[in-house]
Amino acid sequence: MYFTGKTNSGQCIEKSVRRNEGKGNDEEQQTEVELENPKSEGLLYDRCARKRGRRRRNERKKNVSVVGATLVYAKGFAASMAPKARLVVYKVCWMGGCYGSDILAAFDADLADGVDVVSLSVGGVVVSYHLDEIAIGAFGATSAGMFVSSSTSNGSPGGLTVTNVAPWVTTVGARTIDRDFSASLKLENGKIMLGISIYGGPGLTPTQMYPIVYGVFQQYGKKRMSTHFIRTITNVGDLNSVYKVTIKPPGGMVVTVKLDTLTFRKIGQKLNFLVRVQTRAIKLTPGSSSVKSGFIVWSDGKHTVTSPLVVAVQQPLD
C-alpha cells in the first residue's frame, strides 16, 4: 500500500518522496482499532510514535551547510548529507512486533524503487543466517549493489546477544568513538613518529601470558556434552622451570587439563596442554544461551600465568 499526495508536515518530512506500508503476509494482524486510532503505534504512515524514527530520518536528509573550522585549521563547509538526497520510508513494525514477511517485502520494494542505501533499525533474537529475515533480505539487496546499514541490536547484560552481524551488513553501534587522539613519539635521534592513542589503564605485564580459553556447546537433546582444545604455553621465566596447574571450573562444569605438569628446560621453549570441558544439558529457551566463566592457573611457585576460561551453552532454534 503506497501513500501519495500532501500530508501534514508534522507527520512526515519534505524529503520523503514515498511512504511504503511494506506489509507482507501479516496484514491480518492489524485490527480496526489500530488502523483508525491516530495515536496508535500501528499507524499506516511512516511517522514514529516514539519520535526517534522521525529524528533519525531528519538527521539523514538535512542539507544545511555552514562554514566551519577547528581553531584556525581546516577551514571549509560542513554539511550533514548530500542536498539532493531523497528518502523512501518503509514501515515494517506494528503493535504486535516486526514481522519477517514485512521486512522481506520492504527489501523487495527497495529493489523495485532503485534505492542506493538502506538503513534499518530493527533487531530480534540471535538466529542462523538462513533463518534471519534481515540477513536474507540484506543479502539480496547487497547482491544488487545496495549499501545496507543496520543497528546493533543488543540484549545486554546477557552474553552473545548482538544481532545483525552478517558480513554483508554494515552494523552500527549506538555509541562509538569516532575521533582520533593524536599522540606523537619523539625518539632520541630527533625523529618524530605520529600515531593515535587513548589511555586505557596500565598495560599488561609483558612476561605473562593472557590467553582466553573459549568453548561453545550447542544442545541437541544431549544429557551430557564434552569438548576439548589444545593450547600452547611459552616459558619466558627461568631455566628448568616446572609449572603445575590449578583449575577453577565454571559453575556446574567439569574441567580437566592434560598434562597437569609442564617441565621447561630452556627459555622460549613451547609446550602444549589439552583442556577438556564437560557439562550437563541445561534448560534454555530456543535461540538463547548461557555463559559461564572460570580460569586455569599455571605456577612454578615464583611466576603465575592465568588463562580465563569461558564456556557458552547455546540452545538451537530447531
Cα torsion angle, 127, 130, 168, 212, sign: positive
Q: What is the pLDDT of residue 194?
A: 75
Window from 140-154, 188-202, 277-291 with minimum mean pLDDT? 188-202
Q: What is the pLDDT of residue 147?
A: 94
Between 287 and 162, the higher pLDDT residue: 162
Q: What is the pLDDT of residue 89?
A: 86
Between 125 and 51, the higher pLDDT residue: 125
Confidence of residue 138 (pLDDT cuts 50, 70, 90): very high
Mean of the pLDDT values across residues 32-46?
40
Residue 11 has pLDDT above 50, yes or no: no
Residue 78 has pLDDT above 90, yes or no: no
Window from 122-131, 214-223, 304-313 with minimum mean pLDDT? 214-223
Domains of the chain by range and CATH?
Answer: 2-172 (no CATH), 213-314 (2.60.40.2310)
Q: What is the pLDDT of residue 61?
A: 45
Between CA 13 and CA 47 the distance in angstroms is: 9
Residue 135 has pLDDT above 80, yes or no: yes
Residue 267 has pLDDT above 50, yes or no: yes
Residue 271 has pLDDT above 60, yes or no: yes
Q: What is the pLDDT of residue 58?
A: 42
Q: What is the pLDDT of residue 42?
A: 46
C-alpha cell at position 270: 613451547
Q: Which of the residue ranges 31-45, 60-74, 214-228 has the most confident prediction, judged by mean pLDDT?
A: 214-228
Residue 229 has pLDDT above 70, yes or no: yes
